[in-house]
Structure 1
Amino acid sequence: MIQDTDPQDTGAVERAYRTLKEMAASFEFKPDQRLNESAISVQLSISRTPLREALNRLTAEGFLTFKRGQGFHCRALNPAEMMDLYEARAAIEGEAARLAARRAAPEDIARLRADLEQSKDRYTSGVSAVELIRLDEDFHRRIALMSRNAELVRLLDNAAARIHYIRVIDLQLLSERDGAPAITTQPHARILDAVAAGDEEGAAREMRCHISRRLEEVTANVRHAFSRLYAP
């Protein structure tokens, strides 16, 4: 619960922003649902001014939409938008991997390689899709950080958050169909090998291929997302 109700308290705005971002990313608000600002204000124990600031920020970042005369709504959930985000992520991360191959510190590479090796045992039957996504997102963000480009990291954070819900469903379905062991760390190892070798084009190519291979499942995953969101 957010207790600070001071309209000028930037801490209150930040806490509201983070809470609502998580709710929007996981579609706790249904797609296109109108947000009840009064109810949210009470729920988060925050006044309307910092709440509105947080909502405007989330709208600018693509998590919410604003309709004149109707207020704030949760973003839509459609295959075209998800496809755009996957393609944007592939472009962002391809460039991040290319720069990482040029700029990554040897100690960062060694640390990530050790963590990647240790995580292999986590890809077993029974592991949750949420845990698999956590491991995956951690790897990708660390590669982006190795690029030494803060804007690429920021763009990746936004895209990753907006497709997080669909990616959880994607891995759930893939795991149910083929078993968790079918989801391996091998693509990550190939990306890291290229980064370690200073192979800029190879790192970019491996990263883009790794992300793009799930594009064909986007439409089906959105359909499954709707069935889960509106299941009785």
Structure 2
Amino acid sequence: MADNNVDRLTAHLRRMAADFEIRPEERIREGAMAKALSVSRTPLREALNRLVSEGYMTFTPGQGFFCRALTPEQILDLYEARAAVECEALRLASHRASAADIAAIAAQLDTIEPLYEETTDRLTLLNMDEDFHLALVRLSRNAELERMLVNINGRIRYVRMIGLKMTRQQGATTGRMKAHRAILDALRDGDLDAALTALRDHIAMRKEDAAQAVRNAFSQIYVRAG
């Protein structure tokens, strides 16, 4: 039961950190947080330590726990890690995925495309996008790669949500669905080089884009907090 309680607390704090309900580099005041969440400090510390290992929190001896920083350099690192994970998964999928597996993802794209084009809810857009990329990684039959992508997705989730909001406001939505189809079509056709190129082009982030994404995220975090 104790482990279940820590699991639930960890999931709750992970969501808070992912959404930057705890501001970047903000110190966690354990006593106040334990009181606010109606938990004791022992399970709170265990949950915080788990999130340190996952990259959502940091720990400084003598000072305590802090929410992770939000910098262009860290966002670029995460996007490069995402590209490495997804590209390796795609290489494995090219040997391990069946035609039926690939067809199932294509059918799912057909199902969600009308909603993807029409919805204005950025969380819905993000969930659909993440679902596609996770489905691709699952074709690799490698649970560790899937676990790694889930972790990376959580740590870039807020920045991506803000980016999708900006994209939606600019009316640029069809390109992402076309990119998904290009990746899947190349994989189905056995053209791994084309699939990898389409995937890299789709998820790559430039330095200036990362800087703008962080500025946009900070503006939303502090406007929300105000």
Runs of at least 4 residues off by over 6 Å: none
2:131 pairs with 1:138: yes
2:174 pairs with 1:186: no
Answer whether contact 1:120 1:184 (CA < 8 A) is retained. Answer: no
Give the equivalent residue in structure 2 for 1:85.
Answer: 78
Residues 124-163 of structure 1: CA distance to partner in whole angstroms, max 9, x if unpaired? 3552221111100000001001101111111111111100
2:187 pairs with 1:195: yes
Cα RMSD for the two superposed structures: 1.7
Residues 49-101 of structure 1: CA distance to partner in whole angstroms, max 9, x if unpaired? 22211111100111001111111010111111001111111111111112112
Distance of aligned partners of 1:121 and 1:215 in 2 relative to their CA distance in 1, 3 Å threshold: farther
2:204 pairs with 1:212: yes
Superposition pairs of residues 43-82 of structure 1, within 5 angstroms? 43-82=36-75
Answer whether contact 1:98 1:203 (CA < 8 A) is retained. Answer: no
Answer whether contact 1:123 1:183 (CA < 8 A) is retained. Answer: no
1:119 deviates by: 1.4
Distance of aligned partners of 1:118 and 1:215 in 2 relative to their CA distance in 1, 3 Å threshold: farther
Superposition pairs of residues 73-152 of structure 1, within 5 angstroms? 73-125=66-118, 127-152=120-145
1:158 is aligned, of 126, 133, 151, to 151
1:43 deviates by: 3.0
2:210 pairs with 1:225: no
Distance of aligned partners of 1:215 and 1:105 in 2 relative to their CA distance in 1, 3 Å threshold: farther
Distance 1:152 1:219 in 2: 27
> Which is helix-richer, 1 or 2?
2
Gaps of 5+ in 2: none
Distance of aligned partners of 1:106 and 1:43 in 2 relative to their CA distance in 1, 3 Å threshold: farther
1:216 deviates by: 4.4
Identity, % of aligned positions: 46
Answer whether contact 2:94 2:187 (CA < 8 A) is retained. Answer: yes
Give the equivalent residue in structure 2 for 1:41.
Answer: 34
Answer whether contact 2:134 2:146 (CA < 8 A) is retained. Answer: yes
Distance 2:191 2:175 in 1: 25
Say which is worse superposed, 58-67 or 96-105, in terms of deviation: 96-105
Give the equivalent residue in structure 1 for 2:162.
Answer: 169
What's the TM-score, normalizing by structure 1? 0.90
Gaps of 5+ in 1: 1-5
Total equivalences in the alignment: 224
